[in-house]
Chain A
Amino acid sequence: MTKEMTCIVCPIGCQLTLEPQGDTFAVSGNKCPRGQKYAIEEMTAPKRVVTSTVAVDQGMYPVISVKTEAPVPKELIFEVMKDISKVMMPAPVVIGDVVIENVQGTGINVVATRNA
């Protein structure tokens, strides 16, 4: 099945077309090779960094910001959000502190992105 997507590697935003070709895809519409790499990753294993907040006990604000240390599979985003929602971090928290270890079995930690 043919698939269309917008390339986000650079500001041009090429409209990419992907045709299945065996295990992989043939990419067209890209003006540079980075587009091809992006497109195939997006088709085979799309990943995103999730940024959100967690509750903090006794901080300057009731929540602090967090992120996944690395991109997680796109389909797990909402599951990651659910896990994040349940956490209550006691202050003090320092940037980089692990909030959730190995979130959703991805091997990736959720870490604090600000101090509290």
Chain B
Amino acid sequence: MLKYELVVVGGGPAGLSAAVEAYEQGVRKILILERDKELGGILNQCIHNGFGLHRFKEELTGPEYSRRYIDMLDETTIEILKETMVLEISETKVVRAISAERGYMEIEAEAIVFSMGCRERTRGAIQLQGDRPSGVFTAGTAQRFINMEGYMPGKRVVILGSGDIGLIMARRMTLEGAKVEAVCELMPYSNGLTRNIVQCLEDYDIPLMLSHTVVKVHGKSRVEGVTIAKVDENLRPIPETFQRIDCDTVLLSVGLIPENEITQNAGIMVDTRTNGPKVGELRQTEMPGVFACGNVVHVHDLVDFVSEEGALSGLGVAKYLKGELETASNFTTANGDGIGYVVPQTVTMSNVDDQVTFYMRVRSVYDRHIVRAYQGDTLVAEKKERKFLPAEMVNFKIKKDVLANLGDGEIRFVVEEV
């Protein structure tokens, strides 16, 4: 049987960063298993720029960002198996995988990093009713057709969802000659970055219809149009506002879900708030020696933070392999008023260097608010921003010496008025 100190499941930005960091920390026998024919994951189809401002202090496109890590990898002895699909991971950390080239493999791993990323929510998941013609794509699938395969999926487009992928695709399809009729957003605010609203929609006079949704798809063979409607405060379509827009294509940018089938099959529970495994400060899961990072833990909006999380897990793996990873945790985190989730879910102080970054998402748009951390009634720390948006992950750093003053227990994060 093949034996490795570390097996990384998924060679996207999270996995690459985890492998590179583990190597830096002295782990030598590392294997990355990637299901696609190249490393980089979804970055390969994200050809727009804006990646890497935090990590590399410059603006890169997706493929350029992943190349930086692949170049780092080339300087190491980390092994890579591409076009290799992990089928299952046993409780004894044996990885079962297959590839055309190598056939069936069983790989014994001392440590494992899960970095499988996420997938898009579909028409079925959002219960979009009406006819079932061709021409309804998730934005990511359309992006792959255009940016990787060189094909256009349609000519007249309505996009549902104003997350960044939806906005980016509105511009991308426009540049390639399609007409984007509208971007509909169910919420009263966009889930995309302002910059993308300006440069992807306003630059091309594409209407952003807030508090609107697609209620019905029309067309027997190919999409012929959609019925859209304004929604009330309970997000229910208002019948009087129904209007038809003719189009041949509907793109859905309606959310991402961490891909945790392998995680769950390994017996690791998934947190219903994040749809990912519960993790500690070094991204250790409840299963000893198994770590998780990136979009498999929670959906990030910036790849820079995916890399950051990957590096944390790489560090964790190194500590684990040296027998230095403490398991008993001091703190659990809780999402209080206005906060959707907090990662990590546990903190073990002896594993912490000098600070802990808590990632969290607010539930709606907050102006003139502040995020505070409490233990019981005691204020632990606070995080100021001009504005909190659900689309932008909050990065809340708390120094180790601040945490050291607390007794073991729960740390609760809440949004409060200033």
Indicate yes or no for A touching B, C-beta below 8 A: yes
A13 at the interface (CB under 8 A from B): yes
Question: How far apart are the CA atoms of A101 and B389 in the complex, in Å?
Answer: 41
B175 at the interface (CB under 8 A from A): yes
B202 at the interface (CB under 8 A from A): yes
- Name the CB-closest residue of A to B63: A114
Contact pick for A51, options B48, B193, B203, B385, CB 8 Å: B48
Question: How far apart are the CA atoms of A39 and B344 in the complex, in Å?
Answer: 39
Is B44 a contact partner of A13 (Cβ separation < 8 A)? no
Question: How far apart are the CA atoms of A62 and B152 in the complex, in Å?
Answer: 13
Interface residues of A in 45-89 (CB under 8 A from B): 48-53, 55, 60-63, 65-67, 74, 77-78, 81
Q: How far, in Å, is A99 (CB) from chain B's closest CB?
A: 13
Interface centre among A5, A53, A60, A62 (most CB of B within 10 A): A53
Interface residues of A in 6-33 (CB under 8 A from B): 6-8, 10-13, 31
Interface centre among B38, B59, B64, B203 (most CB of A within 10 A): B64
Is A13 a contact partner of B194 (Cβ separation < 8 A)? yes
Is A6 a contact partner of B150 (Cβ separation < 8 A)? no
- Known A-B contacts A13-B194, A62-B150, A65-B63; A114 and B386 likewise in contact (beta carbons under 8 Å): no
B87 at the interface (CB under 8 A from A): no
A95 at the interface (CB under 8 A from B): yes
Question: Which B residues touch A95, using CB under 8 A?
Answer: 63-64, 67
- Name the CB-closest residue of B to A56: B150
- Name the CB-closest residue of A to B70: A115
- Known A-B contacts A51-B47, A67-B61, A95-B64; A8 and B199 likewise in contact (beta carbons under 8 Å): yes
Task: Render A77-116 as a binary contact track against B, CB cut-off 8 A, 1 for contact.
Answer: 1100100000000000001000000000000000001110
Question: Which A residues touch B175, using CB under 8 A?
Answer: 50, 52, 77-78, 81
Task: Render B22-57 as a binary contact track against A, CB cut-off 8 A, 1 for contact.
Answer: 000000000000000110000010011100000000
- Known A-B contacts A65-B63, A74-B203; A10 and B47 likewise in contact (beta carbons under 8 Å): no
Is A8 a contact partner of B150 (Cβ separation < 8 A)? no
Is B150 a contact partner of A55 (Cβ separation < 8 A)? yes
- Name the CB-closest residue of B to A77: B175
Contact pick for A8, options B44, B176, B194, CB 8 Å: B194
Question: How far apart are the CA atoms of A114 and B199 in the complex, in Å?
Answer: 23
18 more A-B residue pairs beyond the given contacts A5-B198, A11-B194, with a C-beta to C-beta distance below 8 A: A7-B194, A8-B198, A10-B386, A13-B387, A48-B203, A49-B49, A51-B47, A51-B49, A55-B150, A63-B149, A63-B150, A65-B147, A78-B175, A81-B175, A95-B64, A114-B63, A114-B64, A115-B67
Chain A residues with CB under 8 Å of chain B are 5-8, 10-13, 31, 48-53, 55, 60-63, 65-67, 74, 77-78, 81, 95, 113-115
23 residue pairs A–B, Cβ–Cβ below 8 Å: A6-B194, A6-B198, A8-B195, A8-B199, A11-B193, A11-B387, A11-B392, A50-B175, A51-B47, A51-B48, A51-B61, A52-B176, A53-B150, A60-B38, A62-B150, A63-B148, A65-B61, A65-B62, A65-B63, A78-B175, A81-B175, A113-B47, A114-B44
